[in-house]
Amino acid sequence: MKDKKVGYREVATILILVISAFVLFTAVASADGLPCACGDICVNETGWWRNGGDFNASNTPIQHAVDNATVGETSCVKDGTYKENIDINKRLTIQSESGSANCIVNSSNFNDHVFEVTADYVNISGFTVQNATGTYKAGIYLDNVDHCTISENTALSNPCGIWLNSSSNNTLTGNTANSNILWGIYLYSSSGNNITNNDCAYNGFSAGSYDGIGLESSDDNAILNNNCSSNAWAGIYLGDYSSNNNVTNNTCSGNHEGIQVWYASNNVLTNNKVSDNDYGIYLEEDSNNNTLTNNTASYNNMKGIYSYSSDYNNVTDNTVTSNNEDGIFLLFSEHCTVINNIVTGHTPPGFSFDILVLNGSKQEYQGELSFSNYETARLPIKHAAGPLTLRLSQHGHDAAYLDYVTVTMGDTLYQPTAAVDLETGTDVLRKILVPEYDVCYAWNRTIELTWEEVPADTTLIMRAMEEDLGEEHGSPLYYPLLREGQTLTYTICDDGCIHVDGILEEPAEPDFSVFWKPESPHPDGYTYGWLHADDQYVYAAVEITADNTPDQ
């Protein structure tokens, strides 16, 4: 057979057919060449698609992927920088392909949340969410939802990094919420959530006083294993009647307050490390019935553990070392249990009583107790059975008073048989046997107490007060307002001697008496006065019973 000659036009036609076939093949290959292996829907900076489906161009591809997803599906977002606000109103998983460092979502509407979730069982992971700068807007906002998981995200430069509003039983884990205007993570009226392994630092500085993790009116949450450091106010804040929260194994350093509990009760704080703050753990304003155990509070600028106007708190088995003022300090806090704590190494002038057991010529340090407003504190002490000699060495503040000292084993109390002020040699035993405000002056003094026979390893019980006498704290010798602007007149004559040397030798009836309430924390009582004159001088003696200090 002869070869067929092909003309020019036929060659051109064949080429056109070949090119057309190639174009058709390429178009099919493009559809098949956009695989989506990391989720049901894939997203890049210019659109979204399903595995093997058509590419859908969009200026807001994450939101359009959410809108077109079926309940329960997963959207996988490729690396890139996205500018949009995403509303999620169905059960979905939204995840980045390779982590938050490479998948950034900037708010396109500064007055909106970057992600807003209004459906249960939503999972969001692996995004950097930022620049939602409108008032109280968040990088990720959960509104009245349950059972969502927010993980491995970075939230920064928002008023709030991650915000839960009236949302329960959600999990926030492995997120970094740094450098937000107010809070790193914030829970409002939300319960039963797990907040674990998050990093919340450098939050609140733009507004001046906000927190790494903040809870308000939120109960039964678990705050576990978080790093909350270098925030403007508190590393972790429990406030506004938040209760029954478990705060465990967190690290809070470089804050104003490591952990702050404010108007919040029945919370448990365990195994937290609070260091290099102004205050380590601060309970204040009716924060009652909280339990603090096995926490480490060290190298704080002021107090390791501070309870202010908060009652019935249990402070046990904590290690409180090398704080600049007090280890454990209670002010206007009653019925608190303070036992089995290690409290050592505070920088002078630390405000406390050092407790020492005298073993022969050796003084064995037992711990440190701080007081205000005649609190009662307990401290387990180590010693052999038999005779016991104990020294209470006070340092710091402007005044200190000792009202009651005993040791106990079980329900049995053992009263000391001798008590001496080592500075003056004064016998002060009768001052410390009964807690009735007839006190022993103890400022910068060492009081040595002895027991003839006690069992081994008892618990010391002390009732005492330490105070400052500056204007802020009031003066214990303030004259009663009842007499302000009035003049007491009394006709006197040479009627005998008034001798004052710490004990008044006065006639049976005072020349005047006034009932008053000291501005200091001392108990209420009467001021009694006696007057006397001779041919040269007028004398006055005043007994300030309300202060129980030596007669002046």
For 261-328, give the DSSP string: EES--S-EEES-EEESSSEEEEEESS--S-EEES-EEES-SSEEEEEES--S-EEES-EEES-SSEEE
155-197 pLDDT, tens digit each: 999 999 999 999 999 999 999 999 999 999 999 999 999 999 9
Give 78's contacts (C-beta < 8 A, 6+ positions apart): 42, 43, 44, 45, 96, 97, 103
User: Which DSSP letter does residue 478 get?
Assistant: P
For 397: left if phi > 0, alpha if psi spans -120 to 50, otherwise beta; the answer is left
What is the gyration radius of the CA atoms in the chain, in angstroms?
36
Domain ranges, ordered by start, for the chain: 6-35, 348-365+383-468, 478-544
Q: What's the CATH class of domain 348-365+383-468?
A: mainly beta
Residues pairing with 129 in the sheet: 105, 155
- Strands (DSSP E) along 154-295, which ranges? 154-156, 160-165, 171-173, 176-178, 183-188, 194-196, 199-201, 213-216, 222-224, 227-229, 234-239, 246-248, 251-253, 257-262, 268-270, 273-275, 279-284, 291-293
357's enclosing H/E stretch is strand 352-359
What pTM was estimated for this model as a whole?
0.67
Backbone angles phi, psi at 429, to 5 degrees: -60, -45
For 363-376, write each residue's pLDDT tens digit: 887 877 888 778 88
Q: Strand, helix or coil at 423? A: coil
Judge contact between 165 and 218, C-beta under 8 A.
no
Please give the pLDDT value at position 494: 60
Check: CB of residue 147 under 8 Å from CB of residue 173. no
- Residue 466: what pLDDT? 84
Cβ atoms within 10 A of the Cβ of 390, count?
Answer: 23
CB 41 within 8 A of CB 49: yes
Structure tokens at 61: 């591809």
Whole-angstrom distance, CA of residue 258 vs CA of residue 231: 9
CB 551 within 8 A of CB 500: yes
Residues (pLDDT < 70) of the chain are 1-33, 346-351, 469-508, 512, 515-525, 531-540, 542-552
